[in-house]
Amino acid sequence: QQATIAFGDLEQDTSQPVEVTADQLAVNNADGSAVFSGNVQVKQGEMTLAAAKVDVRYGTDQSQIKELLASGGVTITNLADKASAEEAVYTIETGVIVLTGNVQLAQAGSTMQGQKLTINLKDGTGIMEGRVTTTFVPGGN
């Protein structure tokens, strides 16, 4: 089933500069496809996405990045909320991050598991799908 949640603050501006830091960036000399590897961090505004490997998918021409495919264990933090999963796809224009593979979401005293979490940075909402289980800590911090 589905559960909608709030994730991070509202109206995250997705046209802010995206800063990617990593140990290494390998670019294929012929087609120009790029792969960041080695504790990769993608920062945009309040959102930080950390992963082991990030593939860059370009848009129609090379100067637009369409998507970032993070894999090898991904954690996304946005203000107080933290989500982690095996893989994530961040489409920059629409500001949507889709996490897949036993997703864990930790928010102010409650944690939630599921198979797929879709976060929309623009309006700060998230939809958790697939065997959603939520655990509340009564009277927690």
Partner 1 sequence: MSTTACAPGLPEVAGIDKHTRVVGWLKVALPLAALAILSTLFLVADRIDPEDALPYAEVDVEELAREPRMTAPSYAGTTSDGAALTLTAEEARPEATDTPAEARGLRLDLDTPDGARTELHAATAVMDDAAKQVVLSGGVKVTTSSGYVLDTPEIAAQLDRSGLESRGEVRAKGPAGDIVAGGMTLSQDNVTPGAYLLVFTQGVRLVYLPGGAGP
In 63-123, which ranges are E strands?
65-78, 81-85, 87-91, 96-107, 110-120
Nearest to 97, CA basis, from 55, 49, 58, 131: 49
Least distance CB 85 / partner 1 (angstroms): 23
Q: Which amino acid is present at 135? A: T
Would you state the structure tokens that stand for residue 82, as one six-digit string? Answer: 């933290």
Binding mask 99-138 for partner 1 (x = CB under 8 A): ----------------------------------------
Distances (CA, A) of 11 to 45, 95, 131: 11, 10, 29
Q: Which of residues 26-85 bind partner 1 (CB under 8 A)?
A: 26-32, 34, 36, 56, 58, 61-65
* Cα 42 off chain centre by: 9
Site string for partner 1, 80-99 (x = CB under 8 A): ------------xx------
Q: Which two tokens stand for residue 38?
A: 């080695």
In the bound complex, what is the minimum distance in angstroms from residue 81's beta carbon to partner 1? 22
Residue 21 binding partner 1, by CB under 8 A:
yes
5 or 54, CB closer to partner 1?
A: 54
For partner 1, which residue of 3, 22, 50, 98 counts as binding (CB under 8 A)?
22
Burial of 106 (0-12, 13-18, 19+ CB in 10 A): middle
Judged by the rule CB under 8 A, the positions of this chain that interact with partner 1 are 14-32, 34, 36, 56, 58, 61-65, 92-93
